[in-house]
Every structure is written in C-alpha cells, then in structure tokens.
C-alpha cells in the first residue's frame, strides 16, 4: 500500500488502519533484517572454518613429507580452533607484550682483558 499525502482519508479509523498496517510492515522488515544478520553471521563462521580447513589441507599436502600425522593429530587442529573462537567471543584480546627484552650492554672477553692490563 503506497501512501500519497494528498489521498489520505480524513476518517480516524481509516488512518489508524493505515498506521497499524505500516507498523506491522516495519516490524516484519526488522524481523527479516535480524534473520538475515544471523544468517550472515553463520555464513561467515562457516567461511572461517572452511578457510582453516583449507590451510590444514595445504600444510598436509605441501608440507614436509617426513611429518607423519596420525588421525588424532589431524583432528586436534579443529579442537584448537573451537577453543580460540570461544575465547574470542568471551573476552577481548589482551594487549600484545613486547617480543624483545632490553639487555644491559656487556664487554667482550678480549676488551675486558685489554682493560685489565692497562690498569
């Protein structure tokens, strides 16, 4: 039902019907949007799982031939992905710690011996 402002009825009951109809239409659209968002989330989750599976298969196919994988080891990768995804949903990522530790400067053995003889 398209609404033209010039053709709106003057009757209050008719106007209420139009408002109710438009409101129901809006509610239906919002419900469909929620359903589509959930479907999109599930599709992205499936995509992520498929990409992980592709990476594991690439490693299995193109990785070192000396590595022998038992069935348990193959299945373990899936468990870690499940744990990581549940942890990501539960808590925010912690800040990254520095990969480098500051170290005090030191003298080489040769420099130490030279300075010992000079004094």
More reliable by pLDDT, 4 or 17 = 17
* pLDDT value for 32: 97
pLDDT tens digits along 45-91: 999 999 999 998 888 888 766 556 666 666 666 566 666 666 666 65
- Tokens encoding 16: 């209420």
Q: What string of DSSP letters covers the chain?
A: ----GGG--S-HHHHHHHHHHHHHHHHHHHHHHHHHHHHHHHHHHHHHHHHHHHHHHHHHHHS-TT----HHHHHHHHHHHHHHHHHHHHSPPPPPPPS---------HHHHHHHHHH-
For residue 8, the model assigns a pLDDT of: 86
Between 111 and 62, whose confidence is greater? 62
Say how far apart CA 44 and CA 34 lie, in whole Å. 15
Model pTM?
0.45
Phi-psi region at 66: left, alpha or beta (left = phi > 0; alpha = psi -120 to 50): alpha
Q: What is the share, in percent, of the chain residues with pLDDT greater than 70?
A: 52
Residues whose CB is less than 8 angstroms from the CB of residue 16 and which lie 6 or more positions away in sequence, other chains included: none
Looking at residue 78, its pLDDT comes to 59
- Alpha carbon distance 63, 58 (integer Å): 7
């Amino acid at each position: 039902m398209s609404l033209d402002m010039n053709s709106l009825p003057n009757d209050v009951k008719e106007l209420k019907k139009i408002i109710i109809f438009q409101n129901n239409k809006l509610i239906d659209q919002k419900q469909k949007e929620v359903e589509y968002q959930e479907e999109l989330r599930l599709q992205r989750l499936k995509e992520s799982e498929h990409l992980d599976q592709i990476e594991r298969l690439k490693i299995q196919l193109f990785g070192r031939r000396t590595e022998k994988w038992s069935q348990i080891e193959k299945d373990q990768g899936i468990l870690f992905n499940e744990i990581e995804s549940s942890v990501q949903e539960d808590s925010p990522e912690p800040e990254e710690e520095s990969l480098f530790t500051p170290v005090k400067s030191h003298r080489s053995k040769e420099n130490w011996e030279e300075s010992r003889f000079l004094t």
